[in-house]
Amino acid sequence: MGSHERVGVFRVFGRDAGFTALYTAYATSIRCVIPEYKVNLDNLIHLLLEEKRANPSNYALVVLSEGAEWEGCAVHEYGEPDAYGHRKKASVAELLADEIKRRAGEETIASDLTYDLRSGDPDFIDKLVALTFSNMAYDAILDGKSGLMSAMVEGCYDLVPIPDPKLGPRKVDVATMYNTERYRPIYANKRGLPIFLNRAS
């Protein structure tokens, strides 16, 4: 980004919930836009350009969940529904990049990281958790149990009932996890929280 002095706009998974974008922003200290909160586009662009100008390499980055929207914008869906009733969404990264160019005259680079992220090599934690989950599921089968899933509960491995689909997707708790003025994760007040910084309700 720095060599081209542009605004980088990245799209990641998150049709209904912004956890992937929020955690990416948390680890990289960049701005993020999540489905749970419609940002003000002029404010977002202002913050990105302010950040770009303050950066010695003259670039700024923002990550968006695929279901993210801003005030006055709804991302277009197209194609036939999949097995879960979901249609494909137009790239919110391309839409935002176009708006930044149109409104601010700034050059942008839009990138879809969804399948790149999914296809990355697993690290130690990925392997440890996946192996433990699969062994727990196998143990449940041997014990004749069903209707359960492997999970992390308060930071510990456990078998829990499969959630009722009527409950819908889990959502980011905006009040405790997302700064609605700066479009960044909230970094304060994490003492006592589990590894993923939220408590499942």
**Does pLDDT of 184 surpass 90?**
yes
**Does pLDDT of 3 surpass 70?**
no
Mean pLDDT of 128-146: 95
From CA 109, how far away is CA 187, in angstroms rounded? 27
Q: Which CATH superfamily is domain 7-120+169-185 in?
A: Phosphofructokinase domain (3.40.50.460)
| Cβ-based neighbours of 118, under 8 Å, separated by 6 or more | 13
Taking the domains of the chain in order of start, what are their residue ranges? 7-120+169-185, 124-167
Residue 19's pLDDT is what? Answer: 93
